[in-house]
Amino acid sequence: MTLSRVIGWVFFGFSGVVFAQNRPLVVAHRGASGYLPEHTLAAKAYAHALGADFLEQDIVLTKDDVAVVLHDIYLDTVTDVAKKFPDRRRADGRYYVLDLTLAELKQLTVSERFHIKSGAAVYPRRFPPGDSGLSISTLDEELQFIQGMNRSTGRAAGIYPEIKQPQWHRAQGHDISRQVLVVLARNGYATKADACFLQCFEIEELRRVRLELGWRGRSIFLLDGKAKGAGGEGSRLLTAAGLQELAAWVDGIGPALGQIVAWPSPGSAAVVTDLVKQAHAAKLLVHPYTIRLDELPKNCPSIDALHTALFNEAGIDGVFSDFTDLTLAWLRSKR
């Protein structure tokens, strides 16, 4: 095998299902979002069928404090909320998940992501925009759906939930982290023996879920290239000393691709940073985001070149991909 680092995993998951891993993880980013509208159960089912190791859940709260699976705190770029609830628009022109109850959200149709001003698809070659017949799911519904697929297929896929904007939610009077942890525990995800990574962009919240809320599972600190949400200490946290400090609170980091690899100019070789090496020295996992066939990093010549740079040259432990099948196919070809 030509991969620079092979990772061994064993999780003893829900109902005794064993999840074993002997290669870098492939996380289905918002499900099979390269092929179906993101975060729908259809996208999760297809990602599971394609062989994803983990399925991602971005989580926000409804007006009645139900955890639902959506990427944004807004509804207006992936649903028909503007048509069905035009009176819910805030002064900033946006429609917020937090302003609708679960019963109201269930009346919406989820579509392929589109630009809010033009209505054009963000990724024109993906699933056609418009009425898909798909709907928003609660976190409970999705976890039960995944566990059902695990049972019926005999192949265990883990979960990779993200708590979205917890500080913003609390400022609005809602404690999203507390709600999410209750749902995870109710569905059998509570310890490091369970096939679950809990992720967040806010390091303060990851500390809180450990110390105040008692989370005992695995956690990942997400980076957006500017260490957003790191309380103004982002640059320090990405030093060798800072990464050692992070290891006291989290099991790994989730950087943007550009923090690991870049192509300075057309035709140039990939340039790999030392972030992965430093993170590994601190015993932190590295799961960067996001591989997209239709949105490669600037000057990257191909998705195969991206896979090679990430897995062979940088030595990452896993990756988020919109195209689970392509990433898995590359990994299998190198075994």
pLDDT computed for residue 233 by the predictor: 60
Structural domain count of the chain: 1
In this structure, is residue 196 part of a structural domain? yes
How many Cβ atoms are within 10 Å of 38's Cβ, its own excluded? 25
In this structure, is residue 89 part of a structural domain? no
In this structure, is residue 149 part of a structural domain? yes
Closest by Cα among 200, 201, 195 to 217 = 195
Report the C-alpha gap between 146 and 227 in whole angstroms.
31
Phi, psi for 85 (deg, rounded to 5): -135, 60
**Domain range for 19:** 9-60+67-72+137-333
Question: Exposed, middle or buried, 56 (CB in 10 Å: 0-12/13-18/19+)?
Answer: buried
Q: Which long-range contacts (CB under 8 A, 24 or more apart) does 276-281 make?
A: 276/314, 276/315, 276/316, 277/315, 278/239, 278/240, 278/243, 279/243, 279/252, 279/253, 280/5, 280/315, 281/240, 281/243
In this structure, is residue 163 part of a structural domain? yes
71 is catalytic: yes
In this structure, is residue 193 part of a structural domain? yes
In this structure, is residue 127 part of a structural domain? no
pLDDT computed for residue 2 by the predictor: 42
pLDDT tens per residue across span 176-197: 999 999 999 999 999 999 999 9
pLDDT computed for residue 237 by the predictor: 86
What is the pTM for the complete model shown?
0.93
Q: What is the CATH number of the domain that holds 43?
A: 3.20.20.190
Residue pair 168/61 in contact (Cβ under 8 Å)? The answer is no
In this structure, is residue 294 part of a structural domain? yes
Active-site position among 39, 71, 174, 287: 71
Report the C-alpha gap between 261 and 303 in whole angstroms.
13
In this structure, is residue 228 part of a structural domain? yes
29 is catalytic: yes
pLDDT computed for residue 30 by the predictor: 98
pLDDT computed for residue 18 by the predictor: 45
Which segments in the chain show pLDDT lower than 50?
A: 1-6, 12-19, 228-229
Active-site position among 29, 39, 48, 169: 29
Report the C-alpha gap between 315 and 309 in whole angstroms.
8
